[in-house]
Amino acid sequence: MTGETEGVAENILVTGGAGFIGSHIVDTLIAAGYSVAVVDNLHTGKRENLNPAAHFYEVDIRETDVLGDVFEAEKPAAVVHEAALADVRASLREPVTYAAVNVIGTINLLEAARAVGTVRKFLFASTGGAIYGDPAELPASESCPTRPLDPYGASKLAGEGFIATYRHNYGLEFCVLRYANVYGPRQDPDGEAGVVAIFTGAMLRGRPVTINGDGLQQRDFVYVGDVARANLLALEDRAERYAGGPAIYNIGAGVPTDVNALFRELARLTGYPQFERHGAAKPGEVRRTYLDAAKARRELGWEAEVPLAEGLARTVAFFRERMI
């Protein structure tokens, strides 16, 4: 079995494992044979997302003493760190809170991993959508200058920097996955949601949908199941990657899609009868961003497999079933 070492399943700790992306990663790891412990404060995560085979700890990653107890109890072989605040606009209103959760919380996990001494690898969910700002090149590769335009992107870049210092000083192997715009089942249309969940929820409820600005802003949409598989491949990659540069990978489909086109496809899938409505553009919004994931394909054997049309159909079906 994939997750077994000499007949004993490796124990993996997943932060944010009751959340949208984290819960899919937990399911994928358990299906691959790993034993999984979940740390989540249920701020945006949901109990119904939890895999019953996982050990669950309702813990905030800012609680250092409790985190240490969890690590001592579980003695994980690896950490998959998905817990974060991830709303760009909220980060502009609450930069201190975003730094406390996304930066200090990450350091707390690194310290707990260092102290327990069992962690062989630290996987970090970063952002390919916000870390490059308005990308200097398109599609943006990992060598593209990092110049985030908001505290959320800045907090993720800071997290990447701290993780690298733990490898340099303590030998903790790591892998950073810079996600594009992740969408799919379990995303909350009323919480820290992306545009797919927001539009889908509103359309199925028959509510007005407003497109910010002219709708020609382009994004790279990647299906959550593909993202979960990227984490599994990164976890199982045992190659020494650091001689040729840090183990940082873009995880995206590499296909630019504008918001107007997304609206039209979701309207078709949901049977939404209303026309497009456009509101004011959001200040500071990135105009065009999509990712070059060639490095992940070359080194991890990963590429996006679920086309956008299929992923949107799966997402709409999920929300429709929950709303009936």
The residues pairing with 288 across neighbouring beta strands, listed in sequence order, are: 218
Confirm if 33 and 46 have CB atoms less than 8 A apart.
no
Other CB atoms within 10 Å distance of the CB of residue 171: 9
Beta strands in 16-110 (DSSP E): 35-40, 55-58, 78-81
Exactly one of 152, 166, 179, 183 is catalytic; which is it?
A: 152
Residues 6+ apart with CB under 8 A from 148: 130, 131, 132, 133, 154, 156, 157
Using CA atoms, how far apart are residues 210 and 212, in angstroms rounded to an integer?
6
The region that residue 20 occupies, defined by phi over 0 for left and psi between -120 and 50 for alpha, beta otherwise, is alpha
Other CB atoms within 10 Å distance of the CB of residue 314: 17
The amino acid present at 267, given as its one-letter code, is A
Is 152 catalytic? The answer is: yes
Confirm if 86 and 152 have CB atoms less than 8 A apart.
yes
Q: Reduce the secondary structure of 93-116 to three states and give it as a string.
A: HCHHHHHHHHHHHHHHHHHHHHHH
- Residues annotated as catalytic are 152
